[in-house]
Amino acid sequence: MVTDADAVGRFTALYDELYPRVHAYAVSRTGRTLAEEVTSETFCVVWRRFHDLPDPPLPWILGIARNVLRENYRAKAREDSLAAELRHWTSSVPDIGEDVQERASVLRALAALSDADRELLTLVAWHGLSTDEAAKVIGCSRAAYFVRLHRARKRLERAMTDETPAPVRRQATAYRTETTR
């Protein structure tokens, strides 16, 4: 058993360093309502499996958080919490800066995707993981991750296209009508 002061010290340092990252992952997967609880439970498992801690630890820890979410929370509770989070994202874009519209539009498109697609995309774009590391979190090969990310990205682009501002969309509709007669 690891009970010595050294291990406790290392675990505490790990908690202090990575709590924000694990919390961020939990928020993006299930919303802030459950995030603290998920993060707390994740670090319990990290301590229990402290002998298995790899370097770098983050992908492994996020993989644990992923399992905690899947195994400990009913789908309904996760969905409700996440739905509130998605509303928070799309309504809390600050009304300043020139890229406000694009940010809001990306977030709305992201909210329209499946949970699996959102996870694939945000592991890389928001949580700073390389595709190799993200594949470790998901538990798939790098090839599989690449392919799934590619498809998720295409779906995000499509959802973004659907967000085209109204005048442009009217033009597109007119074009469609003309060419499909």
Q: Which positions from 75 through 104 interact with other proteins, judged by CB under 8 A? A: 88-89, 92-93, 99, 102-103
In whole angstroms, the minimum distance from the beta carbon of 69 to other proteins comes to 15
Work out whether 23 is an interface residue with other proteins (CB under 8 A): yes
Which of residues 77 and 125 has its CB atom nearest to other proteins in the complex? 125
| Residue ranges in 139-168 that form contacts with other proteins under rule CB under 8 A | 139-147, 149-151, 153-154, 156-162, 164
Q: Do 137 and 175 form a contact (C-beta atoms < 8 A)?
A: no
- Output the smallest distance, CB 142 to other proteins, in A: 5
Phi and psi at 141, nearest 5°, equal -70, 165
Contact assessment for residue 59 and residue 129, using Cβ atoms and an 8 Å cutoff: yes
The string of DSSP letters for 31-87 reads -HHHHHHHHHHHHHHHHHTGGG--SS-HHHHHHHHHHHHHHHS-HHHHHHHHHHHHH
Q: Which is nearer to other proteins, 16 or 95 (CB)?
A: 16
The encoded tokens of residue 176 equal 């469609």
Only one of the segments 56-64, 65-73, 74-82, 169-177 lies at the binding site for other proteins (rule: CB under 8 A); that segment is 169-177
